[in-house]
Structures are given as C-alpha cells and as structure tokens.
C-alpha cells in the first residue's frame, strides 16, 4: 500500500511509485502534496476509484495511474488541472463517458485512455486541445465518429477502434 503518511512530505516535486506491487486505494492525504509536478503510480495493483480531490494538485504536469485495477468514472474535476501535459489512465476498468471537461486541459500533449470500458462518443470539444500530439482511445466501447475538430488538430498519433468509431484521420485502427 501507499503509506498513509505520504501526505506529510509536502515539499515533494516528484513522486514515482510505478512498477511496484502497491495495492489498496489512492490515499486521501496524497492530495496534500500541492507542489507535486510528476505523479507516477502506474503498473501497480491499486483499486477503487480516482478521487476527484486529485484536482487539488494544481501544479501537476504529469499524471499516470495506468495499468492498475481502478474502476468508476473519470472525474470531470481533472479538467481543472490546467498545468497537465500528460494524462495516462489506460489499462484500468474505468467506465462511463469521456468527460467533456478534459477539453479544458489546453496544455495537454498526451492523453491515453485506452484499454478501459469507456462508452459514448468522443467529445467534439476535444478540438480545443491545441497542444495535443497524442490521443489513444482504442480498446474501449466508444462509438460514433471522430469529430472533425479533432481531425483538424496537428496530432502525431490518433489511435481508435474502427469500425465502431468512424475515422478519416486515424493513424491506427484497432479492428
């Protein structure tokens, strides 16, 4: 487990706990780390939901909690993390729609939400993500069409499930 007193280390800028056998939930006191820029919790066995309080970490530029056993929905509060450049939540059991609020992350360069159980359509507001270079949404239950506003972005990578999601501009179609 992540130690419950982790939140006492309030001067931390970087916290890398990836590739361990950490289990349990993300502890609430981790959100006391207001100076954190990088938070890497990927490749563990963390469970539970992504707490919306994570949005209190306003300085975060890099957040990866991929390849865990997280469930529930993606908190729309993540859209308030204005410094975020890299968001990786892939390889969990996340459900529900991709929150439109993520389109407020105008500094976002990489968004990786693949290998979950996300449903619905890709928000057309994602066309506002002008800094986005990499968008990975494959291996979900998304449908509809990739919005033209997303195709108009200067993406280096756009990975999606075709033909469930129609795409005229994808770099990779997961059939």
Domain edges within the chain: 4-173
The pLDDT assigned to 164 comes to: 86
- Report the predicted TM-score, pTM, of the whole model to 2 decimal places: 0.96
The pLDDT assigned to 169 comes to: 86
C-alpha dist (Å) from residue 42 to 8, 26, 51, 79, 167: 22, 12, 16, 20, 29
The pLDDT assigned to 175 comes to: 59
79 touches 105 (CB < 8 A): yes
The pLDDT assigned to 173 comes to: 75
Nearest CA-CA partner of 107 in 91, 125, 124, 130 = 130
Distance CA 166, CA 83 (A): 31
Distance CA 90, CA 99 (A): 15
The pLDDT assigned to 23 comes to: 98
126 touches 101 (CB < 8 A): no
Does domain 4-173 sit in CATH 3.40.50.720?
A: no
Q: How far is CA 48 from the centre of its chain?
A: 16
The pLDDT assigned to 170 comes to: 81
Tens-level pLDDT at each residue, the chain (175 residues): 999 899 999 999 999 999 999 999 999 999 999 999 999 999 999 999 999 999 999 999 999 999 999 999 999 999 999 999 999 999 999 999 999 999 999 999 999 999 999 999 999 999 999 999 999 999 999 999 999 999 999 999 999 998 889 988 887 777 5
Query: Encoding tokens for residue 145?
Result: 């069409």
């Amino acid at each position: 487990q992540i130690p419950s007193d982790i939140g006492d280390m309030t001067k931390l800028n970087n916290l890398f706990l990836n590739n361990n056998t950490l289990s349990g939930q993300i502890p609430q006191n981790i959100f006391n780390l207001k100076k954190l820029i990088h938070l890497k919790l990927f490749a563990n066995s963390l469970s539970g939901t992504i707490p919306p309080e994570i949005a209190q970490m306003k300085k975060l530029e890099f957040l990866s909690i991929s390849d865990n056993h997280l469930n529930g929905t993606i908190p729309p509060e993540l859209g308030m993390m204005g410094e975020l450049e890299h968001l990786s939540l892939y390889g969990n059991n996340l459900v529900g729609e991709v929150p439109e609020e993520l389109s407020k992350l105008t500094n976002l360069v990489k968004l990786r939400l693949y290998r979950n159980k996300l449903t619905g359509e890709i928000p057309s507001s994602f066309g506002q993500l002008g800094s986005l270079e990499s968008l990975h949404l494959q291996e979900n239950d998304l449908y509809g069409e990739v919005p033209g506003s997303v195709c108009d972005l200067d993406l280096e990578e756009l990975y999606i499930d075709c033909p469930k999601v129609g795409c005229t501009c994808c770099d990779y179609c997961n059939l």
